[in-house]
Amino acid sequence: MPLLTVENLTATHGLLHAVRGVDLALAEGETLALVGANGAGKTTLLRTIAGAHRAALGRIRFDGADITLLPAHRRVPLGIALVPEGRRLFAGMTVAENLLVAEGRGRAGRWTMATVLDAFPQLRPKLKSRAGDLSGGQQQAAAIARALMSNPRLLLLDEVSLGLSPAAVEQLYVSLAALPAGGTTIVLVEQDLGRALGVADRVVCLLEGRITYEGRARETTRARVLEAYFGVSSALGAGADR
Ligand code: ATP
């Protein structure tokens, strides 16, 4: 049984249909990259899975249970954690306080202050610093670490590399690549296609709220994804896109 199933999901902003009839199934331990151009509906889909945005139509099942109508705060104890775009840390609180806030909200499990600091060692010397004083890369690490403190079975990551230096992105991805070994299932929104294809097991491309490509990352070429990104036929001939 898949850990997460999304069936015919539609999510709107007023009259705008940001997500249109999306079907997805995610196995436990899998990493799925969600790609697509600006405005394709990636953030809305992620927020709807997390319960931060209401589904207009369709169903979301998690571990077999229908969670479509559950509010976000009741999805966290089931094991769903969202790292939102822009990180949303408590800027005036210390890093340690940010992490501890999440501790009691989720499930018991392998992630504790000690183990998240092993996964994100760059946070160790910053525990007593105000979160708002950290660099962008450190803030992103703290946001992911905070989500892990709830011991999620499903980690939803929205644009973790946005606005970060290449070195900070590299450091984050080294940490992320080590996570699935801990059994975490991940949906990752990532603008950098190379990164997305490198870290994911499977790739889904959204265009105007609909899935235009789905495939195993290993078997997916940049050209094929870009074609799905823009909804145009590739000028390259079949088989010439590797
Ligand atoms: P980006 O990479 O720019 O974040 P995205 O693929 O994550 O894009 P969404 O942010 O989900 O896409 O946006 C999907 C559509 O919904 C876009 O047309 C966007 O303008 C619209 N939209 C998103 N948030 C809102 C909102 N709060 N109110 C109105 N429309 C919105």
Would you state the pLDDT for residue 25? Answer: 96
Question: Is 18 touching ligand 1 by the criterion CB < 6 Å?
Answer: yes
Q: Is the model more confident about 109 or about 47? A: 47
Q: How confident is the model at residue 57 (pLDDT cuts 50, 70, 90)?
A: very high
Q: What is the side-by-side strand order in the sheet with 16-26?
A: 16-26, 4-13, 57-62, 65-66
Beta bridge partners of 9: 22
* 156-209 tens-digit pLDDT: 999 988 888 888 898 888 888 887 666 789 999 998 888 889 889 999 999 999
Checking if the pLDDT of 94 tops 90, the result is yes
pTM summary value? 0.91
- pLDDT tens per residue across span 207-239: 999 999 999 999 999 888 888 888 765 444 443
Provide the domain count of the chain: 1
103 has a pLDDT exceeding 90: no
CATH number at 116 reads: 3.40.50.300
Closest to 116 measured CA to CA, from 31, 175, 185, 174: 175
User: Is the CB–ligand 1 distance for residue 84 below 6 Å?
Assistant: no
User: What's the rounded mean pLDDT across residues 54-79?
Assistant: 95
Residue pair 98/90 in contact by the 8 Å Cβ criterion: yes
CB 36 near ligand 1, within 6 Å: yes
Lowest mean pLDDT among 38-42, 54-58, 59-63, 109-113: 109-113
Whole domain around residue 73: which residue ranges? 4-241
Strand intervals (E) in 27-149: 31-35, 57-62, 65-66, 80-83
pLDDT of 111 > 80? The answer is yes
Q: For position 181, what pLDDT does the model report? A: 64
Which is nearest to 11 in space by CA: 22, 19, 2, 1? 19
Cβ(17) to ligand 1 under 6 A?
no
Atom of ligand 1 nearest to the CA of 47: 11
Q: Residue 191 has what pLDDT? A: 86
